């Protein structure tokens, strides 16, 4: 548990930097681009996210499973070289297709042929994005957290500087976004060059390739359905709003980005540490108990983050996007809650990977995608972009419940649902209090909500929620803190 926490903190710093890039960039774009241009950018990257799935055919998801497998300890270079070579070939094939059919891709991605010049840039960026994934996975597998953090920090700084240069200084608009992105991914590939040199061999292992495909291909369907859950709202908003679709999507991007970012910084930090952690415990007889306790502690922590975002959502949106209608801040809790549920999905995925039963994952994600599309189609015409936020929450709820039902058949973990339920109920109750009882005045409102934010902590500490060994752990950590 201490190892998981330590790695999550280190990865969290790197992930905060990485995720902070998109957060800061949208903050910049809000001040130099129109809502329509922001909407087009959001729409294009949605298409790119779908297309990226077919660059690796799931080999990136299978990579860690076999790179960390003791049976392949002496063949790590084969694992890397096989996955890397395959991805390069696929990426170059897509790039050649883009060179010959750029007008088709421009109409598909951008909705207009006038952006055809950006198609080649986009496809070159996607080649770099996919091939740098494997060296980054190696850094995680080998716990080379300092190297990983340096790469993340360099990427963050370059993204900000290059976007300021191309978008703000040179005023290249949408072109500048893609030009900056291309420069950044090229530099990141150079920073990771030592990993390529130490692991790449001019050799492809057919047996490893077949096993990785067998493991990874089912994850394509999983990720495809996940992309539908994450991105379909953009397409429905874009098309349902007609000529105002770009503007509506530009406004929707702000509360969606805030709700997602506030939670996903922590969830992704946990995810990066979680997969190597649970794979290292697959033969440990106490693994199931550890996984159960991880779920409880995750709920406590992420609920506090969610509560802070909910209580101060209007202030956050106003600072982040002053031109955005303040009522759209009410979308943030729905989006944030959706990604809280995604964290539960990640926790329960441990048994699926340990048992190598990835064929079950598309079932859970397909159910979520179906619900997402249905709710989007039903609610967006009635509730507008609020319907899109509700659809995300409904989809992630279905996905988490479905995976729990499926995973119990292959790897049963007795989660502490009683304690998890208490945390969720306390969080929901405190979040709703200001909707019914709120003092007048800005400063009094801040003080009041700040006190509410710490109310759950008091309940957990003095309400009989914590176990004796957890009090001992808190006491030990507090004592160490005083020494420091």
Number of residues that make up the chain:
484
At residue 254, the pLDDT reads: 87
Question: Could you tell me the two tokens for 471?
Answer: 């009090």
Task: Please give the Cα distance from 109 to 129 (Å, whole number).
Answer: 18
Task: Please give the Cα distance from 317 to 311 (Å, whole number).
Answer: 12
At residue 411, the pLDDT reads: 86
CB of 173 closer than 8 Å to CB of 34: no
Task: Please give the Cα distance from 323 to 32 (Å, whole number).
Answer: 12
Task: Please give the Cα distance from 389 to 349 (Å, whole number).
Answer: 24
pLDDT of residue 109 exceeding 90, the answer is: no
pLDDT of residue 257 exceeding 90, the answer is: no
Task: Please give the Cα distance from 354 to 365 (Å, whole number).
Answer: 19
Give per-residue pLDDT as tens, 129-151. Answer: 888 989 988 987 887 878 887 88
pLDDT of residue 481 exceeding 60, the answer is: no
Domain boundaries in the chain? Answer: 2-437
pLDDT of residue 438 exceeding 60, the answer is: yes
- For the residues of 205-252, what is the DSSP string, one character each? -HHHHHHHHHHHHHHHHHHHHHHHHHHHHHHHHHHHTGGGHHHHHHHH
Reduce the DSSP state of residue 202 to 3 states and report it: coil
At residue 484, the pLDDT reads: 47
Kindly state the average pLDDT of the residues 162-177: 90
**pLDDT tier at 432, thresholds 50, 70, 90:** very high
Identify the helix (H) or strand (E) that includes residue 464.
none
Task: Please give the Cα distance from 250 to 232 (Å, whole number).
Answer: 15
Q: How does the average pLDDT of the chain come out, rounded?
A: 85
- For the residues of 271-298, what is the DSSP string, one character each? HHHHHHHHHHTTT-TTHHHHHHHHHHHH
Max mean pLDDT range (27-31, 201-205, 239-243, 428-432): 428-432
Give per-residue pLDDT as tens, 352-366. Answer: 888 877 777 889 999
At residue 14, the pLDDT reads: 58
Share of the chain above pLDDT 90, in %: 35
At residue 92, the pLDDT reads: 93
Kindly state the average pLDDT of the residues 460-468: 85
CB of 19 closer than 8 Å to CB of 268: yes
Give per-residue pLDDT as tens, 59-102. Answer: 887 888 788 877 888 889 999 999 999 999 999 999 999 888 88
Kindly state the average pLDDT of the residues 384-410: 92
Reduce the DSSP state of residue 176 to 3 states and report it: helix
At residue 479, the pLDDT reads: 67
Give per-residue pLDDT as tens, 331-343. Answer: 999 999 999 999 9
Question: Could you tell me the two tokens for 233?
Answer: 């709202």
Kindly state the average pLDDT of the residues 252-271: 86
Give per-residue pLDDT as tens, 8-67. Answer: 666 555 555 555 676 677 778 878 888 778 777 877 777 888 888 888 878 887 888 788
**pLDDT tier at 480, thresholds 50, 70, 90:** low
Give per-residue pLDDT as tens, 209-244. Answer: 888 888 887 778 888 898 889 888 888 888 888 777
Task: Please give the Cα distance from 76 to 82 (Å, whole number).
Answer: 10
Higher pLDDT, 412 or 244: 412
**pLDDT tier at 111, thresholds 50, 70, 90:** low
Higher pLDDT, 3 or 273: 273
**pLDDT tier at 278, thresholds 50, 70, 90:** confident
CB of 356 closer than 8 Å to CB of 387: no
Task: Please give the Cα distance from 296 to 332 (Å, whole number).
Answer: 24
Share of the chain above pLDDT 70, in %: 93
Task: Please give the Cα distance from 154 to 148 (Å, whole number).
Answer: 10
Place of tokens 């990983």: 148
């Amino acid at each position: 548990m201490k190892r998981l926490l330590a790695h999550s903190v280190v990865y969290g710093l790197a992930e905060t930097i990485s995720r902070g890039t998109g957060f800061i960039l949208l903050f910049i774009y809000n001040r130099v681009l129109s809502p329509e241009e922001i909407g087009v950018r959001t729409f294009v990257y949605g298409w790119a996210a779908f297309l990226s799935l077919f660059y690796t055919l799931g080999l990136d998801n299978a990579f860690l499973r076999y790179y960390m497998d003791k049976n392949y300890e002496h063949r790590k270079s084969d694992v890397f070289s096989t996955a890397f070579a395959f991805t390069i070939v696929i990426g170059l094939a897509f790039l050649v297709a883009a060179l010959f059919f750029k007008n088709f891709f421009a109409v598909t991605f951008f909705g207009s042929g006038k952006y055809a010049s950006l198609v080649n840039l986009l496809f070159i960026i996607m080649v770099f994005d996919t091939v740098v994934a494997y060296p980054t996975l190696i850094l995680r597998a080998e716990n080379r957290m300092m190297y990983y953090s340096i790469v993340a920090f360099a990427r963050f700084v370059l993204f900000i500087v290059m976007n300021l240069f191309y978008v703000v200084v040179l005023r290249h608009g949408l072109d500048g976004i893609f030009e900056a992105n291309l420069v950044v991914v090229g530099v990141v590939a150079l920073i990771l060059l030592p990993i390529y040199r130490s692991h790449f061999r001019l050799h492809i292992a057919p047996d490893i390739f077949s096993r990785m495909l067998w493991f990874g291909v089912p994850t394509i369907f999983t990720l495809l359905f996940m992309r539908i859950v994450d991105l379909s709202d953009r397409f429905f908003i874009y098309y349902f709003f007609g000529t105002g679709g770009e503007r509506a999507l530009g406004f929707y991007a702000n509360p969606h980005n805030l709700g997602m970012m506030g939670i996903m910084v922590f969830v992704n930090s946990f995810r990066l540490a979680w997969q190597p952690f649970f794979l290292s415990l697959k033969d440990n007889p106490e693994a199931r108990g550890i996984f159960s306790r991880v779920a409880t502690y995750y709920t406590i922590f992420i609920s506090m983050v969610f509560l802070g975002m909910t209580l101060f959502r209007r202030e956050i949106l106003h600072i982040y996007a002053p031109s955005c209608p303040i009522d759209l801040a009410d979308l943030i809790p729905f989006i944030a809650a959706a990604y809280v549920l995604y964290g539960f999905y990640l926790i329960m995925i441990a048994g699926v990977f340990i048992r190598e039963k990835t064929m079950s994952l598309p079932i859970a994600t397909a159910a979520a995608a179906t619900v997402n599309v249905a709710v989007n189609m039903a609610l967006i015409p009635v509730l507008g972009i609020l319907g899109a936020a509700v659809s995300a929450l409904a989809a992630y709820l279905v996905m988490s419940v479905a995976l729990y039902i499926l995973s119990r058949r292959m790897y049963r973990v007795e989660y502490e649902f009683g304690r998890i339920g208490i945390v969720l109920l306390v969080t929901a109750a405190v979040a709703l209090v200001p909707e019914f009882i709120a003092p007048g005045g800005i400063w009094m409102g801040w003080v009041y909500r700040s006190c509410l934010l710490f109310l759950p902590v008091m309940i957990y500490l003095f309400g009989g929620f914590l176990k004796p060994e957890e009090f001992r752990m808190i006491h030990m950590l507090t004592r160490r803190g005083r020494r420091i």
